[in-house]
Structure 1
Amino acid sequence: MGKKVAGNLLIIGGAEDKKGDCAILKRFVELSGGKAGKLVIMTTATKEPEAVGKEYLQIFGRLGGGQIEILDLPSRMEAKGEKAVNIISEATGIFFTGGDQLRITSILGGTPVNEALARAYKNGVVIAGTSAGASAMSDTMIVEGDSDSAPRKNSLRMAPGLGLLEETVIDQHFAQRGRLGRLLAAVAHNPYVLGIGIDEDTAVVVGADARLDVIGSRTVTIVDGKEATYTNVSELEPDQNLALHGVRLHVIPAGYGFNLRNRQPLI
């Protein structure tokens, strides 16, 4: 993975604890500088930006966040504005809420805000995302797909993501929605891409050293197809079942990690 990891990411599988000790959201506040931090809540993914933004504003304030600002960019015109770019440029932590990941990429892709996000990431600013915000972190994202059927050629739809975490595809609400089949199908399309499935109330912290650490109450499933010996994905008719041989699968709970560079679990 070479230099494929440039900064600091916190990628959450969705439905994170917001009322108890809030361990995952507290980690975001800490990584962003605590009281000295400048946090930006990105509500682009959701169709209810006011309610969702306000909820996270209150949570981050309660957890000891410093300056906290909601940045709602409902269209590409707002994502081209100088004000939004300046807000991103001054942030120490940027948080993408859940919603629809295609809203994030279709609204931000190719805009000055997207360029500002890339600069912030390379400068070490913490970028976090939950649910749809998690899916958008990778360079390839799952937009939609069947969770309750055998993996097939037409069982999922993919699109380019924000590209912060390269050579990966991320799926969220993983165990709760039975999404192993669709993650396997995604990896079959390009076995060099590492599949990362994150359970609810679970997150991965990824640093510039390409080390992934798991936090939260459940697990992360990693599908590594690099050494796969066979797949029929290119020959399938739309409703035929997928064949995929020789895939490596890792299940990683909190306290364990994974080296993204050499694709090895860390005990």
Structure 2
Amino acid sequence: MLRIKMPFLLFIVLLLPVENIAQENEITTGNKNGTLIAIGGGEIGHTNIMKEFRKLAGGDSAKIVVIPTAFVRNNEIDTMLLKRNFKEYGIPNFTILHTSDSIEANTDEFVKPIKEATGIYFTGGRHWRIADSYLNTKVHKELLKLLDRGGVIAGSSAGATIQGSYLARGDTKNNQIMMGDHEIGFGFISNIAIDQHVLSRNRQFDMFIILENKPELLGVGIDESTAIVVKGDILEVIGESYVIIYDKSFWSIESNPFDEETYKKIPNKNQLFYFLKSGDKYNLRERKVIRN
């Protein structure tokens, strides 16, 4: 099923007050019923990430909608590429949903596939395109409802960052501007900025640009072929590389839990970050690693 609207609107129509988690809320958490999978980009077909997405969406009975808007230019969708990739992921059957028109995204007819879906997947590309098309529309509202009924929303690269409350690299000029002309994400995870491709592209210091201006945010950087799985307050790392946590503290498996301040010589708290690997868990609300 392919739904495409040709005209591109250069403005966002804010017709609905979407009841998402407020960005100014200083508590960081996900949805208590649904699951979010934010993937750091790169090759994921050989990892367990898409297997987890398929399982959480219902396995063989999953109804999956793929939204390629971040990658669509001139309203041309590479359906053959999508079919080839998702067949590799073990998902041969899915619905493609796209528009560049926020008015169409605010119609009952357009959101019907989301109402019937158990899983949503956002492709990579430029996440400001997702924001322009869907932020504060019926699409946004139905995505929140999908989470409330226990569904799963996944996305890679741009599809990961859009899930947060702050839209890192959201500028329309290029993706090196950390705080640009688009700063608001869907807010599926509150009070957070999510970056991607962090180690593969040596982006590990870029997050500090955002946190210097918005110190209330939790920063999370996800490397390629790696993902965070978020349900409620709990984040778990899956995949092959690392996730970086920027919470003004430091954690290491070598740390003395009773004397972490002096056990290692560490920089100023505004310059701190640390790594989590597959299987590690983190409490978003408490901003603490869950120790095994």
What TM bracket, shorter-length normalisation?
0.7 to 0.9
Q: 2:138 aligned with 1:112, yes or no?
A: yes
Output the aligned Cα RMSD: 2.4
Q: Which residue of 1 aligns with 2:192?
A: 168
Query: Residue 227 of structure 2 is aligned with which of 186, 190, 203?
Result: 203
CA distance in 1, matches of 2:28, 2:204: 28
- Cα shift at 1:59: 3.8
CA distance in 2, matches of 1:34, 1:245: 46
- Cα shift at 1:101: 0.5
CA distance in 2, matches of 1:172, 1:120: 24
Q: 2:38 aligned with 1:14, yes or no?
A: no
CA distance in 2, matches of 1:257, 1:84: 37
Contact 2:28-2:218 at 8 Å conserved across structures: no
Contact 1:97-1:133 at 8 Å conserved across structures: yes
Q: Which residue of 1 aligns with 2:55?
A: 30
Query: Residue 275 of structure 2 is aligned with which of 251, 257, 260?
Result: 251
CA distance in 2, matches of 1:8, 1:176: 26
Q: 2:241 aligned with 1:214, yes or no?
A: no
- Cα shift at 1:26: 1.6
- Cα shift at 1:22: 3.8
Q: Which residue of 2 aligns with 1:239?
A: none
Counterpart secondary structure, 1:86: helix
> When the two structures are aligned, how many residues end up with a matched partner?
241
Counterpart mapping for 1:1-267 below 5 A: 4-6=29-31, 7-18=34-45, 21-47=46-72, 50-51=77-78, 53-65=79-91, 67-142=93-168, 143-144=170-171, 156-157=179-180, 159-208=183-232, 210-225=233-248, 245-247=268-270, 248-266=272-290, 267=292
CA distance in 1, matches of 2:214, 2:91: 40
CA distance in 1, matches of 2:125, 2:178: 21
Contact 2:27-2:285 at 8 Å conserved across structures: yes
CA distance in 1, matches of 2:141, 2:163: 14
Moved over 6 A (4+): none
Counterpart secondary structure, 2:166: strand
Contact 1:16-1:201 at 8 Å conserved across structures: yes
Instruction: Determine what percentage of the aligned residue pairs are the same residue.
Output: 32
The change in CA–CA distance for 1:173 and 1:12 in structure 2 (over 3 A counts) is: same
Contact 1:188-1:225 at 8 Å conserved across structures: no
Unaligned segments of structure 2, at least 5 residues: 1-25, 251-266
- Cα shift at 1:197: 0.2
- Cα shift at 1:163: 0.8
Contact 1:192-1:225 at 8 Å conserved across structures: no
CA distance in 2, matches of 1:44, 1:27: 23
TM-score, structure 1 normalization? 0.82
The change in CA–CA distance for 1:33 and 1:197 in structure 2 (over 3 A counts) is: same
CA distance in 2, matches of 1:54, 1:65: 14
- Cα shift at 1:16: 2.9
Q: Deviations over 1:2-45 (max 9, x none)?
A: 68321310000011323xx3421121111111111100001111
CA distance in 2, matches of 1:2, 1:155: 22
Counterpart secondary structure, 2:193: strand
**Greater relative CO (CA pairs within 8 A, separation 6+):** 2
Q: Which residue of 1 aligns with 2:258?
A: none
CA distance in 2, matches of 1:122, 1:57: 28
- Cα shift at 1:83: 2.3
Counterpart secondary structure, 1:175: coil
Structure with greater strand percent = 1
> What is the one-letter code of the residue matched to 2:43?
E
